[in-house]
Amino acid sequence: MAEQFDMVIIGGGPGGYNAAIRASQLGLKAACVEMRDNKRFGGTCLNVGCIPSKALLHASELYEAAHKDFESLGIGFTSLKLQLDKMLAQKEAAVKGLTDGIDYLFKKNKITSLYGRGEISAPGLVTVHGLDGTKIDLACKNIIIATGSDVMPLPGVEIDETRIISSTGALALSSVPKHMVVIGGGVIGLELGSVWRRLGAKVTVVEYLDRILPPMDGEVSKQFQRILKKQGMVFKTSTKVTGVEKLKSKLKVSVEPAKGGDSETFDADVVLVAIGRRPFTAGLGLEAVGVKTDKRGVIETQNFATNVPGIWAIGDCIEGPMLAHKAEEDAVACVELIAGKPGHVNYDLVPNVVYTYPEVSSVGKTEEELKQAGIAYKSGKFPFAANSRAKTNHETDGFIKVLADAETDRILGVHMVGVGVSEMIAEAVAVMEFGGASEDIARTCHAHPTRSEALRQAAMGVEGWTMQM
Ligand code: FAD
Ligand code: NAI
C-alpha cells in the first residue's frame, strides 16, 4: 500500500525545498524527492549554481584585490600565491554547509525526503526510482513539479566538462586556463568569466547580440561592458560561434559575424558554453499523464496549476525568470493556493543581480521597455564617483538610475551598477512593492557615509534636486 501524503514535491531545489517547508508550516504532510546522486537537496542553486559560483566570486575577488589594490591601501606583503585546490575546497565547504542546512530544515519541519527519480505514474501517484534500484509509490492529493532547468546545448559544440564546459565544469576546473572563450555574454558567462580572469586566464566573451546582458537596461549594459573591458575581459559582440574543433593540445574556435560574413578562428584551452538554460522535465512521465508543455519544453501553468488537476509546477521549469528567489516565491504562492489561501507573486518586482565586480542589479522596467510601451517617465541618475563612501573606498565605477512615472512619480524601474548593489536593490524593491514614488526615497533619511545615499541622490534627481553633484 502506497504511503499517503498531502503533497509530493518532485525536485529539491529552491522551488521544491521551500514548497515542502511552507506545506509543513501549513499543516500539510509533505514529501520531497531529489535525484542528485550526491543525495543533497538544494538543487542547481546550492549544488552547482548560486552558492558555488558566489563562493568562487568572493575568493577570486579578494585574490585580485590582494594582487592589485592592497599595495595602494598600504598593505604590503612579500608573496601572494593562488592555491586553487584550497579555493575549490572552501567552495565545497560552503555548498556542504548550506545543503546540510536543508536536511536540518527538513527534519525540523518533519518533511519526508526521498532520494531517487520521481515519476508521475498517475495524478495522485508518484513512483520514486531509488538510486539503489528500489521503487516506492507515494500516493498524494497534490503533486508539485519543481524539477528546475539544465544547460542549453549549442549544436556542434559538445560539452565534455573538461575542455568544453558548462557552468558546472567552470566551477571545478583544476587549473587556470590560459585562454577561456565564453560563448554567451549573459549572467553565467560574465560571473564565471570574471572568476577565471581574476585568477589569471585571458577571457574572451563571444556574444550573439550587439551587447552583453541583453535583457538589462541598455545604459547599464553599455557602462558595465566598458568596466569589464577595462578589467581585461575581451568582447566579441554581434558574433556567433560556428564550431569548436578539438585538437590534442588546444581548441580551435570558429566565429563569424552574427549577420554572416567572413569567419575567423582563434585558439583556446577551455570553452565555456553559457547561452541559457532550458526546463528539465526528462523522465517525469509528463506525456503519459498529459501535462502540457510549450515548444521550448516549459510546463504550461495558470497560477501554478497545470492542465491536469492536482498537478502543479513551479520554478525554472515554468514561465518566468530562472532565478532562485523567483522559484522560492512560486513555491510559497503555489502551496498557499493549494492550502486554500490567496497565494500571489508580483513578477514585475523580481530583482535581478549579477554578482561581478562591480555588481549589477535591477528591478522593474528598463528605459527601453518604457519607451516601447509609450509610458512617459522621468529619470534621476547618480554616479558612484560622487558618492562619499565609494570615493573613500576607491570603488567609484558605476551609477544608479531611478525611473519614475512622469505624472504620478511612482517608481517604475531602478538600475544599479556598483560595488554592493546586490544588497541595495532590496530598498528599491520594497518601496516599489508599496507602490512608492521617487520622492519617498528622496525624502527618506539614509545613513552617511553609505553607498545607499547614491540611491537617494538618484531619486532626488527625478525631481531635479540632486544635491551632491
Ligand atoms: P533547481 O534548483 O534546478 O532544482 C531542481 C532539482 O530537481 C534538481 O536538484 C534536480 O536534480 C531535481 N530533479 C529533476 N528532475 C527530477 C526528478 N524526475 N526526480 C527527482 N528530482 C528531480 N539564481 C539566482 O537567483 N541567483 C544566483 O546567483 C544564481 N546563480 C546561478 C549560477 C549558476 C552557475 C547557475 C547554473 C544558476 C544560477 N542561478 C541563480 C539560477 C538558480 O540556480 C535557479 O533559478 C534555481 O536553482 C531554480 O530553482 P528550481 O527549484 O526551480 O530548480
Ligand atoms: P543568459 O540568458 O543570462 O545569457 C545567455 C547569453 O547568451 C545571452 O546574452 C544570449 O544573447 C547569448 N547567446 C545565446 N545564444 C548564443 C550563441 N549561439 N552564441 C553567442 N551568444 C549566444 O544565460 P546564462 O548566462 O547561460 O544563464 C542562464 C540563467 O541562469 C540566467 O538566465 C539566469 O536566469 C540564471 N543565472 C542567474 C544568475 C544570477 O542571478 N546572478 C547567475 C547565473 C545564472
pLDDT digits (tens, 9 = 90+) for 389-399: 999 999 999 99
Give the pLDDT confidence score for residue 2 in this predicted structure.
84
On the question of pLDDT at 1 being above 80, the answer is no
Whether residues 24 and 139 share a domain: the answer is yes
Ligand 2 atom at shortest distance from the alpha carbon of 354: 41
Q: What is the largest CA-CA distance in the chain?
A: 72
Whether residues 282 and 141 share a domain: the answer is yes
Grid coordinates representing 124 are 495522485
Whether residues 115 and 23 share a domain: the answer is yes
Last residue within a domain, chosen from 217, 244, 275: 275
Whether residues 31 and 128 share a domain: the answer is yes
The answer as to whether 156 is a domain residue is no
Element (H, E) at 438: helix 438-442
Whether residues 218 and 184 share a domain: the answer is yes
Whether residues 308 and 377 share a domain: the answer is no
The answer as to whether 352 is a domain residue is no
**Type of residue at 102:** I
Instruction: Please list the active-site residues.
Output: 448
Pocket of ligand 2 contains residue 123 by CB under 6 Å: no
Provide the pLDDT confidence category of residue 337 given band limits of 50, 70 and 90: very high
Report the alpha-carbon distance of residue 36 to residue 47 in Å, rounded.
9
Whether residues 284 and 271 share a domain: the answer is no
Whether residues 267 and 288 share a domain: the answer is no
Cis, peptide link before residue 215, omega less than 30° from 0: no
Whether residues 83 and 68 share a domain: the answer is yes
The answer as to whether 290 is a domain residue is yes
Domain hosting 174: range is 164-275
CATH code for position 450: 3.30.390.30
The answer as to whether 469 is a domain residue is no
Query: Per-residue pLDDT tens for 140-167?
Result: 999 999 999 999 999 989 999 999 999 9
Last residue within a domain, chosen from 229, 254, 275: 275
The answer as to whether 176 is a domain residue is yes
Whether residues 185 and 142 share a domain: the answer is no
Last residue within a domain, chosen from 211, 246, 275: 275
Whether residues 240 and 91 share a domain: the answer is no
On the question of pLDDT at 37 being above 80, the answer is yes
The radius of gyration of the chain's CA atoms, rounded to the nearest angstrom, is 24
Whether residues 60 and 140 share a domain: the answer is yes
- Residues whose beta carbon lies within 6 Å of some atom of ligand 1: 10-16, 33-36, 43-45, 49-50, 53, 117-118, 146-149, 167, 188, 280, 283-284, 315-316, 322-325, 327, 355
CATH code for position 249: 3.50.50.60
Give the pLDDT confidence score for residue 274 in this predicted structure.
98
pTM value > 0.85: yes
The answer as to whether 400 is a domain residue is yes
Give the contacts of 52 (CB within 8 A, at least 6 positions apart). Answer: 91, 92, 94, 95, 171
**Type of residue at 41:** F
Give the pLDDT confidence score for residue 131 in this predicted structure.
87
Provide the pLDDT confidence category of residue 132 given band limits of 50, 70 and 90: confident
Q: How many domains does the chain have?
A: 3
The answer as to whether 371 is a domain residue is yes
For residues 462 and 438, the answer to whether their CB atoms sit within 8 Å is yes
The answer as to whether 112 is a domain residue is yes
How many residues does the structure list for the chain? 469
